[in-house]
Amino acid sequence: MDKAIAEAKTIRALMYFYLVRTFDQVPLKLKATTSDADIVSIPKSSQDEVLTQALKDLSEAEPFAVTDYGDRASNKGRITKAAINAIQADIYLWMEKYTECVTACNKVINSNQFGLISGTDANTWFQTLYVNGNSNESIFELQFDQQRLNTFNSLFNASKKFIASPIVMDEVYTVDFTDPTKFDIRADGAAVRATDQTIWKYIGLNNSGNNSSIRAAEESYAHWIMYRYADVLLMKAEAQNQLGNGQEALDIVNIIRNRARALIATAANPAPSDKVAIADYILRERTREFAFEGKRWYDILRNARRNNYQRLDLLIDMVSGTVPPNRQQSAIAKFKDKNCHYLPIYTYELTTNKALVQNPFYK
């Protein structure tokens, strides 16, 4: 029972972490709804209140969490002690508690259970990490199979509701036109298919980029990776930089870049004491490492809001690079309002919970 409760508390903490990063203040409900009498109106709680509860849940879950379920699918698809530590690190980083973040990251690192998948062969790396899933690099990933298909196939393949921006190859990864043997393994044939900006991670069976290597609809069971070892390393780098340990942060970034065979065009050489430049370098590396893995917006917002929105320019620059010129000034004015960084509350929720009020930007 303790193990089951540990899993439940961890999932609750993770879900609340997503909620506050998406909606800011949210109702905090800790009592189960077992009958109609338990349905009550609940007002919002602050981010700090919700995240403090999430950390409490994780702290209580950690001693009882499983380290090894006995099979790989469960070790990667269910909550383990390492998954708890990864979530803790992420929450601490968001809350600007950097010493605690490093401690949580080190628990994962020192467990010696995980490592980076070798990038020596780009196709082997891609298939191990994204096609087969549940790799040695994986800490926690949502499992899909023939009975539980991943719906991303229709979003990225058949209907192509979403495609990558051309700047992904041109500016994020870059291309070495003088030597085609030099390429970032995370770029063409991994994150995207450069010829048509198809998002490739969830539909490709190898990194060739050929139509013949696209998953059929009935083969759409690419896993959704929540946390992997590279994420823990880069979270530690970000926290160490904020603690003034710039050289250690840069050393970690280089480990990630060397595995990916990143091109020299995307390299930087900030001084170990230049906290802002290193933070930007880490953010750019996270862009390359986790493209289309559901982390980009939260990464930008976390960096922008640090030290009371000291880096609001990160959001403004994002608008400048993506919004059509005739709408840029309007968009920039909106993004300067911190309330616009969170989504509105769905009207149905406002109707059913009378204690809820709409988020300020949308009133």
Per-position DSSP letters for 144-211, written without gaps between them: --SSS--THHIIIIIS------THIIIIII---SS-TT---TTTBTTTEETTTTEE-TTTBSSTT--G
**Greatest Cα-to-Cα distance within the chain, rounded to the nearest angstrom:** 70
213 is a domain residue: yes
175 is a domain residue: yes
The total of structural domains in the chain comes to 1
Q: Tell me, what DSSP letter sits at residue 129?
A: I
Rounded CA-CA distance 256/260 in Å is 6
273 is a domain residue: no
SS3 188: strand
pTM of the model: 0.96
Q: Give pLDDT tens digits for 102-140.
A: 999 999 999 999 999 999 999 999 999 999 999 999 999
Structural domain including 168 reads 122-225
297 is a domain residue: no
282 is a domain residue: no
The predicted structure's pLDDT at residue 154 = 83
80 is a domain residue: no
41 is a domain residue: no
> Cα dihedral angle (241, 243, 244, 245), rounded to 10 degrees?
-60
52 is a domain residue: no
Q: Which residues of the chain have pLDDT under 70?
A: none
The predicted structure's pLDDT at residue 320 = 83
Rounded CA-CA distance 2/64 in Å is 6
